[in-house]
Chains A and B, each alone.
Chain A
Amino acid sequence: MFEARLIQGSLLKKVLEAIKDLVTDANFDCSATGFSLQAMDSSHVALVALLLRGEGFDHYRCDRNISMGMNLNNMAKMLKCAGNDDIITIKADDEGNTVTFMFESPNDEGNTVTFMFESPNQDKISDFEMKLMDIDSEHLGIPDTDYASTVKMPSAEFARICRDLSTIGDTVGISVTKDGIKFSTAGDIGNANVTCRQNKTVDKVK
C-alpha cells in the first residue's frame, strides 16, 4: 500500500509541467524515503532526478518499495484538473508478486493509481484513476564526483540566458573563471557571449 498526501498540490503540478516535455514515460519509485523519479530524455543528454521526500508530505505511507510506470503526458492531463490550492493524495496498492499473480487480478487497483484532489474548504473531492504502464528500464546512478567548480545562480536568469542564446546558435559553451561564468555561442548570423560576474550576494566557486 502506498499513500501520500500533499497539501501543497500546485508543487506537483509545477514539477510535472517542467519534466513532461523531457520525459514521456518513466517509473516513479516509491520507497520509505520518498517519492522519486529518475529518467533520461530520449536523446540521452538530460537526466531528470526528482525526489519528493516523505517528510514533505502531510501523510506518507509506503509499505514496500514499488515502481509505478506512468505516461507523464497523461499524468499531466489529470493534474491539470486539480486546482492550484487543492490537496493531492496519491494512492496505489502494491501488487506483491507481480509476475505470478498478474493474470488472476488483471484490472483495477493493481495497475492504477488514484489521485485525489480536495479543495481546502473540503466542499469538493474528485478522484482520477490512471492506468499504469509496465516500463522496463534500468536505474542509473550518479557517482559522487569532485567538481572543479560550482556555480549557483538564479534559475530564471540561467533560463533567460539560454533562451536568448538559442536564437543565435544551437550549442552553448560554458566556461568558468575566477571572475565569473561565460556563456558563448556562435551561429549563422553572428555570435554572442554573456558573462555573469561573481557577486557576493550568492556564494560561488568552491
Chain B
Amino acid sequence: MDGNKRRAAYGQQQQQQGGGAGPPQKRPYSSSNNNGVSASYGNGRGGGPPPSMPPQRHLEEEDDYDEDVFLEETLLRDAEMAEEGREVAERMAKWRRPQLPPTDRTKDSILFQQLDIDYVVGEADKEWLPSRGQAAIIRMFGVTENGNSVCALVHGFEPYFYITCPPGFGPDDVESFRRLLNDLMREHNKAKHGCSVFVAAVSMVTRQSLLYFQKTKQRTFLKIVMTLPAYVAACRDILERGIQISGLGYQSFTTFESNVLFALRFMIDCNIGGGSWVELPPGSYRFKSQQLSYCQYEVDVMYDKIISHPSAGRYGKLAPVRILSFDIECAGRKGHFPEPEHDPVITIASLVTLQGEQRPLVRNVLTLKQCSPIVGAEVMSFETERDLLLAWRDLIREVDPDLMIGYNICNFDLPYLIDRAQTLKINEFPFLGRIRFSKLRMRDTTFSSKAYGTRESKEVTIEGRVQFDVLQAMQRDYKLSSYSLNAVSAHFLGEQKEDVHHSIISDLQNGTPETRRRLAVYCLKDAYLPQRLVDKLMYMYNYIEMARVTGVPFSFLLARGQSIKVMSQILRKARQRGMVVPALKVQGGSQDSSYEGATVLEANQGFYEKPIATLDFASLYPSIMMAHNLCYCTLVRKEDVSSLPLESVEKTPTGDIFVKPHLEKGILPEILEELLAARKRAKADLKLATDPLEKAVLDGRQLALKISANSVYGFTGATIGKLPCLEISASVTGYGREMIMHTKKLVQERYCIGNGCEHDAEVIYGDTDSVMVKFGVSCIEDAMKLGKEAADFISSTFPKPIRLEFEKVYYPYLLISKKRYAGLLWTKPEKYDKMDTKGIETVRRDNCMLVKNLVNECLHKILIERDIPGAVQYVKNTITDLLMNRMDLSLLVITKGLTKTGEDYQVKSAHGELAERMRKRDPATAPSVGDRVPYVIIKAAKGAKGYEKSEDPIYVLENNIPIDAQHYLENQLSKPLLRIFDPILKNASKELLHGDHTRSVSIATPSVGGMMKYAKKRRSCMGCKAPLADEDNTLCSHCQGREVELYHKCVTKVRDLEETFGRLWTQCQRCQGSLHQDVLCTSRDCPIFYRRKKAQKDLAEADAQLSRFQF
C-alpha cells in the first residue's frame, strides 16, 4: 500500500493550498490543521491530543464525539472499510455543517427555509393520531439561518377533493355515502392492499365553483377526505364514471381539485410558498428518538402548528444553502461514448459553496490511481473504483448539500454513477439522499411542453436534495446556438474552456500522475463552471423568488412547465375566496380549438431617416384581463346571459360575455393586480436597496413577477393544460387587436396637418403590443415630446389599468418586414442607448458566424456611423475575402445536433452523412448521437447533393480542401444581406453580389481526392505565378530582378505567422491552465481552435516557401 506516500502528498498539497479553501472562521477545522488530524488518527481513536494541536481542540472533541456515534454506525455496515478509507472519512469530516445550537423544544422554535417537500406513506403517529393506520407523512427539508439542516415530518395532513353535492342529499346521507364509496374503493383495490379504510371522511361544505359566473354564490359541495394520496385518483375515476346511490339513482360527478399534487395541496393549505421560511413554534415539535435522516434536526410536527412566514424583510433572505457542483470523467473506449457497463469512472470533482459566499467551501477531486497535487484543491486518490465511488458517497453525506448542480447531471453524471455502481455490484453506493437506507430511484421521463418542446430525460430521485441541472435551465431560458458547456460559458462568462475529447481521456488516465493531474484540473473546471453560471445568472435568487411568487416547490420549476405555477396561484386565490377549481379532463389538443392571435400591422418597408416613436402597451395582456375583468368566474354561460341586466355585463370582441367587477371580481384579475403591485413594490425597493444580495433578490423577484403575470394569459389558452378557457384567451387577443387598430386610427387622426401639426403622422408598423409612429419631425426631442403626448392622450381613452407608454425613439430605423427591423434606440435626446434589432441577427443555428458578424457590422455602419458606402464596401471586402479563401474557417462553421445515427435519418442530412463519413475515417473522434456536429460546405462535383458537400472543418484545414464560397454566398449571405440593403440601395443584388470584387478567386489544391493521388504540385514563379520550366528555380527569368524584394516579403510573412501562432498557442495554454504542457484541446466550439490550426498550417506552408530560396 502506498498510503504513506499518499499521505505525504496530501501534506504537501495542504501546504500549497494554505488557507485558500474557505472561510476558516466558520469552520471548526481550518484547513491548516489537517495534517494534525490525519496524524492524530494514527494514534488511535482514544489517543490523547498530539502536542501540536491548535487551540480549537475543545470544539473538536465535541465533534469527535458526534462522529464516533456516526462512525460506529457506518462501521457496522462497512466493517471491511480499509484503514485508508477511514482516513479519507476523517478528512471529509471537516466539511460538516456547523454544530447544532442547544435547542430546547419547549422554549425554542425552529425557523428554517424549506427547499424540498415530498411525502412518504408510513404508520401514522401513535401519539397524535392514535386511531389511524397508514397515513401520508409530509417531509419538509430545509436549512436554518445557521446553516443547520432540518427535516420536518409533518403529520395529520390528509388528501381530499370536492364533488358537487347531488340534489336531495342531506347531512344524514353523508356516512352512508362514505361507506358506499369506501366499499367501491376496496373492490377496486382489493388485489393490492389489506387496508380497509380508503375514504376517511365525507363532509358537506359550502363552496363556489370557479368556472362560470353564478348568481347563487354558495352551493353545497361534498369534501371527500382520503387516507392516502394515491387513492384520490382512483376515487375520482369511480366518481366520474358514476355510481349508484340508493335513493338518488345512478349519478356521475364532476370532481374539483382532485388533480392537485399532494405536496402542493399541503403547501397551499398551509400557505407555504416555495422556498419560503417556516417556523415550528416551541412545544409544537418533538425530536425523533431514532433518526431516519442525516439531517441535524429531525422533528415530528402536526401540520396545523406550522407557521409560514411571508417572504419579506427578514424572511426574504436566503439561508446559507449548501450547493454541490460536481462533474465526473469516464475513461471511454476508442470510438464509443462511455457506457456504464464497460467504462470506469475515473475522476469526480466536487465543489461545495455556501449560498451567498464568493469562494467555495470545498474543492475536491477524487481520482482513480495516483494524481499529482493541485494548488487550491484537495486531491484524494484511490486504487479501485469501488473506493472512489464510496468515497464520493461519503463526501456527499458529510457535506450534506441541499442543492446539487452540474452540467447535464440529470441525464449523464448521476445515471452514470448509479449504473456504474450497479455494474460493479457496489450495492452500498446509491444511498446519496438524506434518508437513511433509502436507495436512489431512477426512471425515464418525457417532459413535453409547448413552450420548451419535448425532452427525454432520466429522473433520479435524491430525497431531500434538490437537483438543478444547469443545462436544462439553459435550454429552458435561453436560445443558444450550442448548449455545450464551453459555448455556454463563452457566452455568459466570456471565457473559453479547454475541451478534451473523450477519446483522449483514457490516454491521460493511463499515463502518469502528472497526466492524471491534468484530467483532474479539467474535471474541476467543469465542476466549477456550472457554479459560476449559477452565480452569474443569479439562478438561485431568480428561481427561489419564482418559487416564492408562484408558490410551487423549487424542484417543480425545472421539472415542470409553466402551467403548474399559474395553477398554484389560482388554487391559492380560490381557497381564500371559498371557491373550488374543477378538474377538467385533458382533451387531446384538438385542432378546432385554436383562436385568432394578435395582430401585426402591415410593415411599411423602408429605411427611415427621421425619428420613429414607439408606443408600447405596458403588460398588455395582463392589463386587458384586469381592465375587462376577464376570468373563469366572471364568464357568463350563454344560457345565463338573458337573466343578467345588460349594464352589468360586457361583451368582448369575440362575442363572449363577462360580468362587470361590481357583480363579481375575477380571480385572475386579482392575481394579476397583486403580481403587478408586488412588482412595482419590488422595483421601488430595488431602487432603495444598497446591499448587493438584497438587490439580487429583489431583481429576481420583479423578474419572476413579470414572467408570472405574463404566463397567466398563456395558461388560459393552453388547450392541453389544466384549466383551458379559450373564451378568456380569445377575448384577450381580441381586445388586443382592437386596441392596436384603435391606437393607429387615433394617432393618424389627431396628428395630421389638418389639426395644426407640421406633418401627417404615419403608423409605419405595429406588433401585438406596440405601434411605431413616424411623426414627421426630424428632431429627436420633438419626436419624444409628441410621443409622450400621444401616449397620454391615447391612454386616457382606454379603461384602467391599460396604459400606453412612450418608451423610445428609433432613429434611424430600418424596417425590413414584419417582425424584422433594426434601429438605433434613444430614450433620452442626448445620446443613443444601443442598437436594437429584431429578427435580423439571424441567431438561427443553421447560420454560420460569418453571417452574424457581417450583418451586425453592416447595421453598425448603417445605423450608427451612417456610412452606407462604408457598409457596402465592407460587404464587398468580406465577399472578396471569402472568394479568396482568406476567411477564418471558424466563421464558416455550421453546427447541427446529431439526434440519431445515419441510417435512422429518413432524409439524408449534411451533418448525419458527415458523422457517418467521419466514423469511417476514425471512429474514435467521430461525433456520436447527441453531439453537435460542426461542418463546412466544400466544393463538390457539379450537381452534388447538399449532404455530399459537408465536411469536418478540421479535415478541411488539414487537407486544404476548397470551401464552396459560392454556396456560402448564395445560400447564407445573400438573403440576409439583400434584406438589409434592399430598402437602402437600388440594385442591391447586382451591386453587392456580382460586382468587380467577385472576380478575384482562389482555388485551393487539396491534398486528398482522386486526382491528387496522381498529379503533383508544380512550382511556379513566386513573383508572377507563371509555371517554371526548371523546378529548382524560385523565380522566372522575368522576376529575377525582384528576388530581394520577394525574399523579404516571404521572411516577413513567416515572421508574422510565427507571431500569430505563438499568441494563439499561448492563449490555449492559458485556457488549459498550464504553460508547460502541450495543448490537447479540440474544442469545435472555440474560434481560437480553428485559428490556431489554420495558423499552424499556414506557417508550415510559408516556411516551405521560404526554404525554396535556398539562401
Contact = CB atoms under 8 A, between A and B. Distances in A.
A108 to B, nearest CB: 13
Given A29-B1026, A45-B941, A64-B1038, A138 B1017 contact: yes
A178 B1001 CA distance: 47
B1002 A141 contact: no
Interface of A: 21-22, 25, 29, 31, 39-47, 64-67, 69, 98, 131-143
A45 B1011 contact: yes
B1006 A142 contact: no
A140 B999 contact: no
A143 to B, nearest CB: 6
Nearest to B1019: A139
15 contacts: A29-B1026, A40-B1005, A42-B962, A43-B940, A45-B1009, A64-B1038, A65-B1026, A65-B1036, A66-B1026, A133-B999, A134-B1001, A135-B1000, A135-B1002, A136-B1000, A141-B1015
Contacts of A142: 1014-1016
Contacts of A25: 1001, 1003
Contacts of B1019: 139
B221 to A, nearest CB: 70
Nearest to B1026: A65
Nearest to A131: B999
A1 to B, nearest CB: 14
B1052 to A, nearest CB: 15
Query: B1004, B1009, B1010 — which one has the most chain A CB atoms within 10 A of its CB?
Result: B1010
B1012 A133 contact: no
B1011 A47 contact: yes
A141 B999 contact: no
Given A31-B1026, A135-B1001, 4 more contacts: A65-B1026, A98-B1024, A133-B999, A137-B1005
A119 B197 CA distance: 111
A43 B1017 contact: no
B786 interface: no
A138 B1105 CA distance: 13
B1026 A44 contact: no
B1026 A67 contact: yes
Nearest to A26: B1003
Interface residues of B, number: 36
A136 B962 contact: no
Nearest to A45: B1010
B583 interface: no
A70 B1016 CA distance: 23
Given A141-B1015, A141-B1017, A142-B1015, A44 B1006 contact: yes
Nearest first, the 8 A-B pairs at minimum CB distance are A44-B1009, A43-B941, A137-B1003, A141-B1018, A136-B1002, A45-B1010, A65-B1026, A42-B939
Given A135-B1002, A136-B1003, A44 B942 contact: no
Contacts of B944: 43
Contacts of B1024: 65, 67, 98
Given A47-B1011, A47-B1015, A42 B1000 contact: no
B752 interface: no
B1025 interface: yes
A151 B20 CA distance: 80
A142 B1011 CA distance: 10
Contacts of A138: 1005, 1017-1018, 1020
Contacts of B964: 42
Contacts of A29: 1026-1027
B985 interface: no
B884 interface: yes
A78 B16 CA distance: 78
Nearest to A66: B1026
A45 B1027 CA distance: 22
A42 B1004 CA distance: 10
Contacts of A132: 999
Chain B CB within 10 Å, residue with most, of A44, A64, A65, A137: A44
Nearest to A41: B941
Nearest to B1012: A44
A59 to B, nearest CB: 22
A42 B940 contact: yes
Contacts of A137: 1002-1005
A66 B7 CA distance: 76
Contacts of B1001: 25, 69, 133-136
A41 B1025 CA distance: 20
A198 to B, nearest CB: 26
Contacts of B996: 131
Nearest to B1009: A44
A142 B1018 CA distance: 9
Given A65-B1036, A67-B1025, A143-B1016, A135 B1011 contact: no
A76 to B, nearest CB: 15
Contacts of A136: 884-885, 1000-1003, 1025
Contacts of A22: 942
A23 to B, nearest CB: 10
A42 B1005 CA distance: 10
A39 B1005 CA distance: 10
Most buried by B among A39, A42, A66: A42
B1036 A134 contact: no
B1030 to A, nearest CB: 13
A40 B1011 contact: yes
A40 B1013 CA distance: 13
A66 B1024 CA distance: 8
Contacts of A141: 1015-1018
A132 B1011 CA distance: 27
Nearest to B1006: A44
B884 A140 contact: no
A4 B1065 CA distance: 53
A31, A39, A136, A141: which has the most chain B beta carbons within 10 Å? Answer: A136
A65 B1038 contact: yes
A47 B1005 CA distance: 12
Nearest to A139: B1018
Interface in B94-152: none
Given A43-B944, A140-B1005, A133 B1000 contact: yes
Nearest to B999: A133
A43 B1018 contact: no
B703 to A, nearest CB: 53
Interface string B1014-1054: 11111110001111000000001010000000000000000
Nearest to B1028: A139
Contact of A139 (B939, B940, B1014, B1017): B1017
Contacts of A45: 941, 1009-1011
A72 to B, nearest CB: 12
A20 to B, nearest CB: 11
Contacts of B1026: 29, 31, 65-67
Interface string B847-886: 0000000000000000000000000000000000000110
Contacts of A133: 999-1001
A54 to B, nearest CB: 16
A42 B1020 contact: no
A21 B1038 CA distance: 34
Given A66-B1026, A134-B999, A43 B1016 contact: no
Most chain B CB within a 10 A radius of its CB, from A29, A139, A143: A139
A136 B996 CA distance: 16
Contacts of B1018: 138-141
B998 to A, nearest CB: 9
A28 to B, nearest CB: 12
A46 B1020 CA distance: 21
A131 B1001 CA distance: 14
